[in-house]
């Protein structure tokens, strides 16, 4: 189940997969997919299921079907490292869609921008739009609301019987929203919210606002 919020009079739809849809701009925002990481793990002997490679593309297609966005903006770390099998899968996926795709380059994005441009993907270091600053690294300012990734935010939910559940989350404060990592096997940095911060945990099926 999605969760709708307003930021500076704009609507944003938080999705249980960790993506955000911005209806006024017809933009789907996705952070830290880290394509190629599963192949990297398998190459070095980790017992990661082969079908995990396709999960990112299946989830992206579900989001495209649900929101039908005009634009898809990847907020950095689209690929984990250098070219591997998953680049070929990415090329095929890009060829199958009709959305305009943009990449805001992150610290893991070491593949040449020319490779993306060959696929019709525009690469930027940042984008400022309608009072919002889209970036990979968190860059809060007084004049723009920052939407970013990089941190892989998570939250630990504790139950009455000492149960502990670790979930990825959206993390929002006064001037910033940090998206959870979209990719498989990316890990989390567990946040410690202060007064005024908002946590929206995700399970893959629902978004849970945490008081």
pLDDT at residue 180 is higher than 60? yes
pLDDT in the model for residue 44: 46
Quick one: DSSP state of residue 122?
E
pLDDT digits (tens, 9 = 90+) for 2-44: 999 999 999 999 999 999 999 999 999 999 999 976 555 555 4
Sequence-ordered list of residues with C-beta below 8 angstroms from that of 119, at least 6 positions apart, any chain: 91, 94, 95, 101
Instruction: Tokens 């950095």: give the residue.
Output: 76
The architecture (CATH level 2) of 3-151 comes to 4-Layer Sandwich (3.60)
The whole-number average pLDDT for the span 159-183 is 91
pLDDT digits (tens, 9 = 90+) for 45-79: 454 556 667 889 999 999 999 999 999 999 999 99
Question: Does the pTM of the predicted model rise above 0.75?
Answer: yes
Listed by start position, the domains of the chain span 3-151
User: Picking from 29-43, 92-106, 184-198, which range would have the lowest pLDDT averaged per residue?
Assistant: 29-43
Sheet holding 10-14, edge to edge: 3-7, 10-14, 20-22, 27-30, 71-74, 100-104, 122-124
């Amino acid at each position: 189940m999605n969760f709708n919020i307003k930021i500076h009079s704009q609507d944003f739809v938080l999705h249980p997969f960790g993506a955000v849809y911005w209806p006024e701009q017809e933009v789907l925002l996705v952070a830290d997919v880290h394509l190629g990481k599963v192949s990297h793990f398998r190459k070095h002997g980790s017992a990661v299921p082969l079908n995990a490679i396709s999960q990112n593309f299946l989830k992206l297609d579900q989001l495209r079907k649900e929101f039908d966005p005009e634009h898809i903006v990847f907020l950095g770390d689209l690929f984990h490292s250098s070219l591997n099998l998953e680049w070929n899968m990415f090329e095929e996926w890009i060829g199958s869609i009709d959305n305009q795709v943009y990449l805001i380059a992150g610290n893991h994005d070491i593949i040449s921008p020319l490779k993306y441009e060959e696929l019709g993907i525009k690469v930027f270091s940042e984008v400022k739009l309608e009072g919002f600053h889209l970036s990979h690294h968190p860059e809060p300012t007084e004049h723009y609301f920052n939407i970013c990734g990089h941190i892989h935010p998570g939250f630990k939910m504790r139950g009455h019987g000492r149960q502990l559940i670790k979930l990825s989350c959206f993390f929002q404060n006064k001037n910033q929203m940090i998206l959870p990592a979209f990719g498989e096997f990316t890990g989390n940095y567990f946040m410690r919210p202060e007064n005024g911060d908002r946590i929206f945990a995700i399970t893959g099926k629902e978004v849970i606002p945490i008081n």
